[in-house]
Structures are given as structure tokens and as C-alpha cells.
């Protein structure tokens, strides 16, 4: 089992990919996938959690399967 976890965590690759529009809540930092304004007083603390919207975007960067990268290749 440990080998499987290790292999999963080492899986990183890069290719152009598209993210559909998405509304959800989770802890995040303002990175390439989290470029949004806040409609509330925000103290600049990261990571933080609140409902937010992701506009559709196509881009390329190194990634591994996570909440924003769930698609077939």
C-alpha cells in the first residue's frame, strides 16, 4: 500500500488542459487556479476557505490528480 501512495504522490506531468467553470468551497491559496476577488473583508491569510467561482480556463502547468485535475488523458 505504501508503494501505491508513493507512486501516486510522484505522478506529475504537464500538458495543456481545460478546466470547466466550477463553484465550490475548499481551503486554497491564490494560485493559478484561484484568481478571484473577495466580496467580504479578507485579512490576506492563506490558505483560507470560502465559496468561490472558477471561470473556464485552458492552460499548461505541472500537476498531479487533485480536486482541480480529475480527467482522463
Cα–Cα dist 69/19, whole Å: 8
Residues 6+ apart with CB under 8 A from 36: 30, 52, 53, 54
Per-residue pLDDT of the chain (73 residues; tens, 9 = 90+): 676 555 555 656 667 777 888 898 988 888 877 878 788 888 888 899 888 888 888 877 766 666 556 555 5
Give pTM, 2 decimals: 0.51
Amino acid at each position: 500500500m505504501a508503494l501505491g501512495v508513493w507512486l501516486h504522490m510522484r505522478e506529475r506531468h504537464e500538458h495543456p488542459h481545460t478546466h470547466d467553470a466550477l463553484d465550490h468551497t475548499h481551503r486554497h491559496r491564490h494560485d493559478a487556479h484561484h484568481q478571484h476577488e473577495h466580496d467580504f473583508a479578507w485579512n490576506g491569510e492563506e490558505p483560507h476557505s470560502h465559496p468561490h467561482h472558477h471561470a473556464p480556463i485552458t492552460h499548461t502547468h505541472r500537476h498531479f490528480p487533485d480536486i482541480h485535475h480529475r480527467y482522463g488523458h
